[in-house]
Amino acid sequence: NRQVILRDYFIGPVKDSNFEIRTTTLRLELQEGSQDVIVKNLYLSPDPYMRNRMKGNHNSYIPPFVPGKPLNGFGVSKVVLSNNPDFNEGDYVTSWTGWEDYSVIPGGKGLKAVDPVTVPLSYYVGCLGMPGFTAYVGLFEVLKPKKGEIIYISAASGAVGQLVGQLAKLAGLYVVGSAGSQQKVDLLIKTMGYDAAFNYKEESDFSAALKKYCPQGIDLCFENVGGKMLEAVLDNMKTYGRIAICGMVSQYDKDETAGASNLSRILTSRLTVQGFLQSDYLHLQPQFIEKMVTYLKERKIVYVEDLDEGLESAVGAFIKLLKGGNVGKQIVRVAIN
Ligand code: NDP
C-alpha cells in the first residue's frame, strides 16, 4: 500500500521534499466484530485548505496533519471489504480518506454511497462535493444575492470560483472574475458565461483593474485570495456591499494569515464582511445536491476538471494547485476502478 507522508511541518512554498511516498503492507482482512470497511481509493482531492494543515497550527478549525502519517482528505473510493451492513463490496463511496492506495475506514464512519452512473465519479469531490457546496452556501447563504447586483470573484476559474460565477449568472447577477492566466480568463468568459474577467498577473494595480471592470463598484465579493487582492476589493466596494471571505489562498504559505492594511474601508463603506466554513451548513446538502444535479443534467452548469494520474503525482498536483497551474478543479486519479 503506497502512502503519501508529510515529513514535517513547514512555512513557505510547498516542495516535493516536504513529502515522501512510503510503501507499507496492508492485509486485506477485517477485524472480527468491527464494522470496519476497506476501500480502494480512486480519486483524491488536493484542496488549498490542506496547506494550513501542514503548518502545525493547532488554533485552526481543523487539526494539523501528523508528520510521519499519510495525508488525508476528501476522496472517492470503491469498497473492497466490508463488515458494515450499510456497505457492500463494489459500492462506490465518498469519504475522508488517506492519500494512499487502500484505506481502512474504522466503523465505516463518514462513508457515503454515491451513484456512479448519473455523473462522473470525480464530481463527488468537485461540483457535487465540498467545493461545490462551498460555492452554493457562500453565495446563497452568506452573500444572499439580489438580481442585478454586481459580484466579483477572485480565483474565479478554480474548483469553487467557477461554480460561484455560474450560479450567480443563473441568479441574474453581473459577474466579474479574475484568474492567473489568459487561458483561465478565456474559460471564464467563453465557457462559464462570466460578463467580464481579467488576468490579475497582467495588472500592476489590482484596484485600477477592478475599477475598469466594475466601474460602478462591487455589490458582492466572493473572496478566495486575500492579501493585496482583498485590499483592492475593499477600495472598490459600493456602500453597504457584502463580502464573503471564503479563503485567502495567497497567504497560506505564510506563518500567520496577514490582513488587509485598509480595513477602515469596512467602516467608511459600511460593509458587511463574513467569513464562513461550508461545514457549518451541512443541513443544506440535500437541497444543494438536488439543485446541482439538475443544473448539470440540464447543462446549465459546466464543470471543468484538471486530472493528474497516479498516486505518485499527488504531491505534484498539490504544488501545482497552490501555484495556480491547475485549470479547473484539481483531482488525482489513483486507480480507474
Ligand atoms: P482553486 O481550484 O481555485 O485553486 C487555487 C487557486 O488559487 C489557484 O489555481 C490559483 O489560481 C489561485 N492562487 C494561488 N495562489 C494565489 C495567489 N498568491 N494570488 C492569487 N491567486 C492565487 O481552489 P479551490 O477552488 O478549491 O479553493 C478556492 C478558495 O476557497 C481557497 O482560498 C480555499 O481555501 C477556499 N475554500 C474555502 C472553503 C470554506 O469552507 N470556507 C471550502 C473550500 C475552499 P489563479 O491562476 O487564478 O491564480
Measured over the CA atoms of residue 75, residue 312, residue 184 and residue 207, the dihedral's sign is positive
16/121 Cα distance (integer angstroms): 28
Q: How far is the CA of 323 from the centre of ligand 1 (A)?
A: 10
Ligand 1 and 246: CB distance under 6 A: yes
Q: How far is the CA of 89 from the centre of ligand 1 (A)?
A: 36
Q: What is the pLDDT of residue 260?
A: 80
Confidence band of 54 (pLDDT split at 50, 70, 90): very high
Rg from Cα positions in the chain: 20
On whether the CB atoms of residues 80 and 40 are closer than 8 A, the answer is: yes
Whole-model pTM over 0.80: yes
**pLDDT surpassing 90 at residue 3:** yes
Ligand 1 and 250: CB distance under 6 A: yes
**pLDDT surpassing 70 at residue 56:** yes
On whether the CB atoms of residues 223 and 154 are closer than 8 A, the answer is: yes
Ligand 1 and 277: CB distance under 6 A: yes
CA distances from 333 to 99, 101, 122, 133, 330 (A): 11, 10, 8, 21, 10
Residue spans per domain, the chain: 2-125+303-333, 130-279
Q: Which of 45, 160, 285 to mutate to test the pocket of ligand 1 (most atoms within 8 A of CB)?
A: 160
Confidence band of 57 (pLDDT split at 50, 70, 90): confident
Counting other chains too, the contacts that 143-148 makes at CB distance below 8 Å and 24 or more residues apart are 143/220, 143/222, 143/242, 143/244, 144/242, 145/171, 145/173, 145/220, 147/171, 147/172, 147/173, 148/172, 148/173, 148/174
**pLDDT surpassing 80 at residue 202:** yes
**pLDDT surpassing 80 at residue 174:** yes
Q: What is the pLDDT of residue 261?
A: 85
Ligand 1 and 132: CB distance under 6 A: no
Tell me: the pLDDT tens digits for 239-278?
A: 999 999 999 999 999 887 667 888 889 998 999 999 999 9
On whether the CB atoms of residues 209 and 203 are closer than 8 A, the answer is: yes
On whether the CB atoms of residues 103 and 38 are closer than 8 A, the answer is: yes
Q: What is the CATH number of domain 130-279?
A: 3.40.50.720
What does pLDDT average to over the chain? 96
Type of residue found at 255: D
Q: What atom in ligand 1 is closest to the CA of residue 131?
A: 43
161/47 Cα distance (integer angstroms): 13
Q: What is the CATH number of domain 2-125+303-333?
A: 3.90.180.10
Q: What is the pLDDT of residue 258?
A: 67
ipTM for the whole complex? 0.99
Atom 17 (ligand 1) nearest CA: 250
Confidence band of 292 (pLDDT split at 50, 70, 90): very high
